[in-house]
Amino acid sequence: METPSIQNNTRIDVADVLRGLAVMGIILLHSIEHYNFYYFPESPPFEWMKFTDRIIWDGLFFTFSGKAYAVFALLFGFSFYIQNNNQNQKGKDFRLRFLWRLVLLFIIGQFNASFFTGEILVMYSIIGIILPVCCKLNDKTITIIATLLILQPLDWGKLIYALIDTSYTPGESYPITISV
């Protein structure tokens, strides 16, 4: 008797589930924002309703917002790694194809931005350029770059500048003076 062969599934189910949960959380939040479900009446009939609305609003954003966006961003990089690794095993370079995908994502994001102002696809397409640039670097170099970025030198520079110049207000750019 022959046993039926089980087809080899090369997809990572956990990544697909996490991506689905992240997209669900993002869609839920965008639905609340985009369809104005967060409108709170100025004078509700009962004061406890104002409190309840605020708790529900803050609770949804605390529960889903940061986590959904973080998981989605993590899976964006993870997907690049999987695709790049699979193409490297076949002896192909995936970086140019990924850059083309980023161009398409940028175009789709621009189209989506005409309907929704909180556009994230354009940002993914621009920031995603760092993936093909850094994918061939060794672990030590990536660690140094990550540490430098985590330390946020621009913000430290603004802090030091604000301590030196008391008229500086956060949020404005550095004054550029060019003397000839």
**Segment 16-46, tens digit of pLDDT:** 899 898 888 888 877 777 665 556 667 767 7
Range 134-142 contact pairs with CB under 8 angstroms and sequence separation of 24 or more: 135/80, 135/81, 135/84, 135/95
- Residue predicted with more confidence, 131 or 51: 131
**Where in the sequence is the domain holding 166, given as residue range(s)?**
137-180
* Residue 4 belongs to some domain of the structure: no
Domain count, the chain: 3
Q: In a 10 Å sphere around its CB, with 0-12 CB exposed, 13-18 middle and 19+ buried, how is residue 117 labelled? A: exposed
Q: Mark whether 58 and 34 lie in a shared domain.
A: yes
**Segment 96-149, tens digit of pLDDT:** 999 999 999 999 999 988 877 667 888 899 999 999 999 999 999 999 999 998
Measure the CA–CA gap between 83 and 81, rounded to whole angstroms. 6
pTM for this predicted structure: 0.68
Task: Say if residue 178's pLDDT is above 70.
Answer: no
Q: Is residue 16 within 8 Å of 55, Cβ to Cβ?
A: no
Measure the CA–CA gap between 123 and 72, rounded to whole angstroms. 13
* pLDDT range class, residue 58, cuts 50, 70, 90: confident
Q: Mark whether 85 and 114 lie in a shared domain.
A: no
* Residue 2 belongs to some domain of the structure: no
Q: Mark whether 87 and 104 lie in a shared domain.
A: no
* Residue 6 belongs to some domain of the structure: no
Radius of gyration, CA atoms only, the chain: 23
Task: Say if residue 150's pLDDT is above 70.
Answer: yes
